[in-house]
C-alpha cells in the first residue's frame, strides 16, 4: 500500500484510556480537541502561538512527575495522557482560585467582548469562588485613557497576555507589551502612555480576545443597561471588499454592538477599526434614508429618486458645458462592489471623456 506523507507521520498515543492517532507537530491539546475532550484554557487563542501561561490545560502524562500544559507539549508516540482526573481538577480549581484572588470582580457584562465570559464560566464550572487566596492585587485600571473605543480595566487582568500576543502576532502592530513583573505586572503601551499616543490602530482585537473583560468595548458597553437579551446576527462588514464576517449584536430592535466572527473565512476573527467600531451610522438619526435636493430656500428637502437623479444630471451637464471634460473628477466608494466600481469608471471615462477617476481605497 502506498502511504501519503501525512499518513507516514501518523503515530498512536493513549488519551483517557483510548488509543488515538496524531500527526507530528500536534500538541496534546490539539489531539484532545480533535477527540472532543473538554480541556479548559484561558491563555489559549487558537489563532496565536501556544503560550503555556495559565496552566489551566494541564493534563497528566504517564512517566512525568508534574502535570504538563497540554497546549505547549507536543504529542509523542505511546504517550499515555489523562485529561481529567481528581488531581487535575483540583489543580485547575486552585489555579482559578489564585487567578480571581487578584480581581475586583469576575462577572462582567458580555458586551465587554467576545471572550469576556471565559473566566467567569470556568470559575463556576470548577466552583472556585472560595476566596481562598484573598490578598494582594495586581493590575491598575487606566481610567485616564479616555479613548472612545477600548476600556482598559486592568484590575481584571490575569496576565494571560492574549492582548499583547494578538497585537503582535496577528496584527503586527506591537502597540502594547508587558511592563514590570510580579504583582506590579501591567499591560502597557510605550512609556505607559495612552493608546492614542501609541501605535495602536484601535482594531479592537485585544478587546475581543480578553478572557476576563479587563479590556472592554466601550461603545457596546453603553448598552449594558439597555433592556433585552443579546441576539447575534451573522452578517458581512459593509466597509470594504475583504468581506469580514461579523456578528451584529442586538437587543430588541437596537443594535448594541458588533463582534468579529472567529470562523469568518475572510477574516478569521480579525477586524479593523472601522469594521469593529464604526457601526453607529446604522441607527444614527442623521442617517439619510431618501434622496434630498436643495430647494430655492437653500435647505435640503426629501424627494424621490427620479427627481434627484434628474437634478444631478442637469448639474453635471452644466459643469461639462461650461468648464470642459476635465472639470469632473470621480471617486468611487471603497464600500462599493467591483461591478459598481466598474460602472463608476465607465460613467466617468465614457460619459465625461476624462480619466479623472479614482477609488477611496487608495487614499
Partner 1 sequence: MTTPSNQDLLERWVDQPAPLLPLLHALHERDGHLSEDALRFVGTALRIPIADLYGTVTFYHHFSREPGGRDRPRVCTGPVCSGRGAHRVIEELEAAGASPQSMPCPGRCDQPVPVLRGDAVQTGASMEALTGGPAPLPPPALPGVTECVFAGIREPDRARLAGYREGGGYAGLERAVRDLDPGGVLDLIDDSGLAGRGGAGFPTGRKWRAVREATGDPKTVVCNADEGEPGCFKDRVLMDYDPHAVLEGMAIAAYAAGASRGFIYLRYEYPDTLGVLERAIAEATEEGLLGDSILGTDFTFQVWVRRGAGAYICGEETSLLNSLEGKHPFPRNRPPFPVTHGYEDLPTVVNNVETLAAASHILANGAEWYRGLGMGDHAGTKLISLSGDIQRPGNYEVPFGLPLQTLLTEWAGGPADGRTVQAVTMAGLSGGFLAGDDLDVILRSRVVREVFPVSYRHATADGTLGGRCRA
Residues that bind partner 1 (CB under 8 A): 50-52, 69, 72-74, 168, 174-181, 188-192, 198-199
SS3 per-residue string spanning 25-85: CCEHHHHHHHCCCCCCCCCCCCCCCCCCCCCCCEEEECCCCCCEECCCCECCCCCEEECCC
- Nearest approach, Cβ of 41 to partner 1 (angstroms)? 14
269-287: buried (b, 16+ CB within 10 Å) or exposed (e) per residue? bbbbebbbbebeeeeeeee
Nearest-approach distance from CB 139 to partner 1, in angstroms: 14
Choice between 11 and 335, CB closer to partner 1: 11
Cβ neighbours of 310 (radius 10 Å): 12
The DSSP code sequence of 285-349 is TT---S-EEE-TTSSEEE--HHHHHHHHHHHHHHHHHHH-GGG--EEE-TTS-HHHHHHHHHIII
Distance CA 240, CA 69 (A): 40
- DSSP character string of 168-216: IIIS----EEEES-GGG-EEEEGGG--GGGTT-----HHHHH-SSSSEE
Residue 290 CA to its chain's centroid (Å): 34
Residue 58 in grid coordinates: 494541564
> Could you give the C-alpha distances from 77 to 14, 15, 50, 65, 109, in angstroms and in order?
9, 12, 21, 18, 44
For partner 1, the closer CB: 207 or 220? 207
C-alpha cell at 141: 485600571
Nearer to partner 1, 52 or 238 (CB): 52
Q: How far is the CB of 199 from partner 1 (least distance, A)?
A: 7
**Minimum CB distance to partner 1, residue 189 (Å):** 6
**Min. distance of Cβ 9 from partner 1 in angstroms?**
17
Pick between residue 188 and residue 267 the one whose CB is nearest to partner 1: 188
Output 178 or 309, the one with its CB closest to partner 1: 178
CB closer to partner 1, 12 vs 178: 178
CB of 60 to partner 1, least distance (A): 17
Smallest distance, partner 1 to C-beta of residue 32, A: 17
Cα–Cα distance measured from residue 241 to residue 243, given in angstroms and rounded to the nearest whole number: 5
Minimum CB distance to partner 1 smaller for 112 or for 165:
165
Shortest distance, position 61 Cβ to partner 1, whole Å: 13
Q: Toward partner 1, which CB reaches closer, 183 or 329?
A: 183
Amino acid at each position: 500500500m502506498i502511504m501519503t506523507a501525512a499518513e507516514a507521520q501518523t503515530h498512536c498515543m493513549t488519551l483517557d484510556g483510548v488509543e488515538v492517532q496524531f500527526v507530528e507537530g500536534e500538541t496534546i491539546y490539539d489531539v484532545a480537541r480533535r477527540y472532543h475532550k473538554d480541556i479548559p484554557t484561558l491563555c489559549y487563542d487558537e489563532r496565536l502561538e501556544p503560550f503555556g501561561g495559565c496552566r489551566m490545560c494541564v493534563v497528566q502524562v504517564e512517566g512525568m512527575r508534574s502535570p504538563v500544559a497540554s497546549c505547549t507539549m507536543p504529542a509523542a508516540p505511546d504517550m499515555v495522557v489523562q485529561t481529567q482526573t481528581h488531581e487535575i481538577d483540583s489543580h485547575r480549581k486552585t489555579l482559578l482560585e489564585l487567578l480571581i484572588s487578584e480581581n475586583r470582580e469576575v462577572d462582567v457584562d458580555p458586551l465587554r467582548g467576545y471572550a469576556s465570559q471565559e473566566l467567569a464560566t470556568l470559575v463556576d464550572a470548577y466552583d472556585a469562588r472560595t476566596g481562598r487566596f484573598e490578598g494582594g492585587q495586581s493590575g491598575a485600571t487606566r481610567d485616564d485613557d479616555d479613548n472612545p473605543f477600548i476600556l482598559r480595566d486592568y484590575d481584571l487582568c490575569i496576565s494571560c497576555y492574549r492582548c499583547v500576543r494578538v497585537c503582535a502576532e496577528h496584527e503586527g502592530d506591537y502597540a502594547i507589551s508587558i511592563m514590570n513583573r510580579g504583582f506590579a505586572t501591567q499591560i502597557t503601551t510605550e512609556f505607559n502612555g495612552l493608546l492614542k499616543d501609541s501605535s495602536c490602530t484601535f482594531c479592537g482585537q485585544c478587546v475581543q480576545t480578553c478572557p476576563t473583560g479587563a479590556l472592554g468595548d466601550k461603545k457596546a458597553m453603553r448598552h449594558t443597561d439597555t433592556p433585552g437579551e443579546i441576539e447575534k446576527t451573522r452578517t458581512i462588514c459593509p466597509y470594504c471588499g475583504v468581506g469580514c464576517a461579523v456578528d451584529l449584536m442586538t437587543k430588541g430592535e437596537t443594535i448594541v454592538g458588533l463582534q468579529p466572527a472567529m470562523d469568518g473565512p475572510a477574516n478569521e476573527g480579525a477586524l479593523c477599526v472601522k469594521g469593529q467600531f464604526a457601526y453607529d451610522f446604522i441607527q444614527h438619526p442623521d442617517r439619510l434614508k431618501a434622496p434630498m435636493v436643495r430647494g430655492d430656500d437653500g435647505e435640503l428637502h426629501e424627494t424621490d429618486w427620479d427627481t434627484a437623479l434628474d437634478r444631478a444630471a442637469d448639474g453635471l451637464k452644466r459643469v461639462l458645458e461650461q468648464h470642459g471634460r476635465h472639470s469632473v473628477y470621480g471617486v468611487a466608494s471603497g464600500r462599493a462592489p467591483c461591478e459598481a466600481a466598474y460602472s463608476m469608471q465607465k460613467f466617468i471615462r465614457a460619459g465625461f471623456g476624462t480619466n479623472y477617476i479614482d477609488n477611496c481605497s487608495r487614499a
